[in-house]
Structure 1
Amino acid sequence: MNMSSPRDRGGRPRDPEVDRRIIAAALQVFGLSGWSGFSMEAVARTAGVGKASLYLRWTSKADLLTEAVASRFAPIAEIDNGDVRTDLVEFADLLMDLFCGPDGMAARRMAVESRIIPDITERWSRVRESQIRTSRAIVKRALARGELSPHTPVSVLLDALHGAVVNYSTAAPDHVRSDAAARRRYARRLVDFLLAALRAHTAEQRAADTAPSMDSTPI
């Protein structure tokens, strides 16, 4: 079956390369300036196209940013490799790509400003909800398999993982943050650190559970 090419509002076929440049420029402008500084003029200038090219494709800056978000920020699908470390590393890699990749600045802005942008709130919420759902499912399966202790503080574990990635995305030097290999190494070190901390936490809890209570100690 032949698929027709996307067309602009005038009915003409759209140039995929121009679309790509505009979408990339839209996320760059939003990442640098936020919603208050986001304009069709700024996007056209950054993309190196005429403003008319934007209005032939999108009716407003909200429409443009909505499509940009939809094209670059997809919800995270289920992750299940049968091993908690592998699953958490894959999840951490995805978060790293989201917040530290080429569109990372826009993603960080979106996490803060999505609630005030028309038509964006629900779409970004789906991205955020998929992160929560996927990460909790990873831990739930690990608990069921016995890889993690019932004492595991699930919210603390996932908050630490997500928070560390977001902190890395803002604190790491640009040349480190933009290095995909460095991001992968950090994701593995982070997961290994958190799992080691969980093992230590579990050992402490078991020791506390098996320690004789003061009430049962002979006088």
Structure 2
Amino acid sequence: MTGIRDEQTAGTDRRRPGRPRDPVAEQRILDAAIDEFLERGPARFTIDGVARRAGVGKSTVYLRWPDRDALLVESVRARSRSIEDVDTGSLRGDLIRLTTNLLRFLRDPLGYATFRITVDAVANPAYEHIARELAQKHRHAARRVFDRARTRGDTIDEAAVDPVVECLYGAVTMQVLNHGLDMASASEVDLEAHCTSTVDLVLRLLEP
């Protein structure tokens, strides 16, 4: 009986839950992952580097995420922001606001990391899901702008909607590729002026 009881007690001990997760440590790791990725780049991004930056042991990171890709994807998803549902009263105003918001986000370190991960998804299947998820969010936000314009009575050529959105987003991403985080010092006036000229140029695609 004693042996059985000892085995049962040992089994109970083995089934006891481990130390609960520390949300503060998790947040430090998620933040460190973004910073490490931006500073070191995808080729030199490692769990070791993230652990050192976060001030935790490597095993602490591996207890939560199986590999560096899973950690990076979770870091982006945890800090991703919803896309503002813009409504300025006009299609032009909405597109200016939408593209300005996007440019403002992409010049932020988190936004820039998100952009790089989306680009890397072409070669890294681990990033495909988060890249599609982000693209769908932006596609829906742009679609809402055009749906609202139709509700206001604007005549919208459906065949031109996707090319217009692709041109606008392409112009913004090229700005990011050309200047990267150097854009962080740009003023709000400069951001909006750049997006306004881009929107005015692209909207000509909608003209009869």
Q: TM-score range by the shorter chain?
A: 0.7 to 0.9
TM (norm. structure 1) is 0.69
Shift of 1:106: 1.4
Task: For residues 112-161 of structure 1, give each alpha carbon's deviation from its aligned partner in whole angstroms, at most 9, with x where no partner exists.
Answer: 12255455322221111111121122123224424566499433432232
The one-letter amino acid of 1:14's match is: D
For residues 97 and 77 of structure 2, the distance between their equivalents in structure 1, rounded to whole angstroms, comes to 22
Is the CA contact 1:92–1:187 (under 8 Å) kept in the aligned structure 2? Answer: no
Shift of 1:78: 4.1
2:201 alignment partner in structure 1: 197
Match of 1:155 among 151, 158, 162: 162
Query: Does structure 1 residue 178 correspond to structure 2 residue 188?
Result: no
2:70 alignment partner in structure 1: 63
- The count of residues paired between Structure 1 and Structure 2 equals 192
The one-letter amino acid of 1:164's match is: A
Is the CA contact 1:96–1:165 (under 8 Å) kept in the aligned structure 2? Answer: yes
Which shows bigger deviation, 186-195 or 142-151? 142-151
For residues 151 and 52 of structure 1, the distance between their equivalents in structure 2, rounded to whole angstroms, comes to 53
Is the CA contact 1:34–1:109 (under 8 Å) kept in the aligned structure 2? Answer: no
For residues 60 and 88 of structure 2, the distance between their equivalents in structure 1, rounded to whole angstroms, comes to 45
Query: Does structure 1 residue 26 correspond to structure 2 residue 30?
Result: no
For residues 205 and 122 of structure 2, the distance between their equivalents in structure 1, rounded to whole angstroms, comes to 37
Match of 1:100 among 102, 107, 118: 107
TM (norm. structure 2) is 0.72
Report SS of the residue matched to 1:103. Answer: helix
Change (3 A) 1:148 1:116: same
Which protein has the bigger helix share?
2
The one-letter amino acid of 1:131's match is: H
2:176 alignment partner in structure 1: 169
Is the CA contact 1:95–1:165 (under 8 Å) kept in the aligned structure 2? Answer: yes
The one-letter amino acid of 1:10's match is: G
Task: For residues 52-86 of structure 1, give each alpha carbon's deviation from its aligned partner in whole angstroms, at most 9, with x where no partner exists.
Answer: 33123333323322321211224536444443244
The share of aligned pairs that are identical, in percent, is 26
The one-letter amino acid of 1:110's match is: I
For residues 48 and 132 of structure 1, the distance between their equivalents in structure 2, rounded to whole angstroms, comes to 38
Shift of 1:101: 0.6
RMSD: 3.2
Is the CA contact 1:40–1:61 (under 8 Å) kept in the aligned structure 2? Answer: yes
Report SS of the residue matched to 1:196. Answer: helix
